[in-house]
Amino acid sequence: MVNSKQDKELAALTCLYEITRVLASSTDLRDCLKKAMAILSSSFDFKNATVTIVNPRTGQSEIEVAHGMSGKMGRSSDYKFRYSTSM
């Protein structure tokens, strides 16, 4: 019998493989990200997620893909990019 840890590891590797195939299949970033989010959603059963990319000219984080969100929430791009480092 395969234990739960092995099942989770196999599921994670399968998910990674599927996402890698998607990323290699197209040069359309948005299309690849949408497909990758769908794979992640079905593999790990999450409801909402976003992929944000920092615009180097404005320093603002822009939502490139929103999964499971509708309306203003999925289109909003008025977030300031902030980060901190601690040692």
Q: What is the pTM of this model?
A: 0.66
- Tell me the residue range of the domain where 74 lies: 48-87
**Are residues 70 and 40 part of one domain?**
no
Whether the CB-CB separation of 60 and 77 falls below 8 Å is answered with yes
- Torsion angle, alpha carbons of 28, 31, 35, 38, to 10: 150
Task: Note the pLDDT of residue 8.
Answer: 87
**Are residues 58 and 23 part of one domain?**
no
Whether the CB-CB separation of 68 and 49 falls below 8 Å is answered with yes
Whether the CB-CB separation of 43 and 14 falls below 8 Å is answered with yes
Task: Note the pLDDT of residue 71.
Answer: 59
| Lookup result for tokens 């197209």 | 26
Reported as type and span, the H/E element at residue 57 is: none
Q: Kindly give the confidence (pLDDT) of every residue in the chain, 87 residues in length, as a single tens digit, with 9 standing for 90 and above.
A: 456 889 889 989 999 999 999 999 989 988 999 999 999 988 888 888 888 888 899 888 888 888 887 755 555 544 444 444 444
Number of domains in the chain: 2
The vertex-36 CA angle with 30 and 37, nearest 5°, equals 90
**Are residues 52 and 20 part of one domain?**
no
**Are residues 64 and 33 part of one domain?**
no
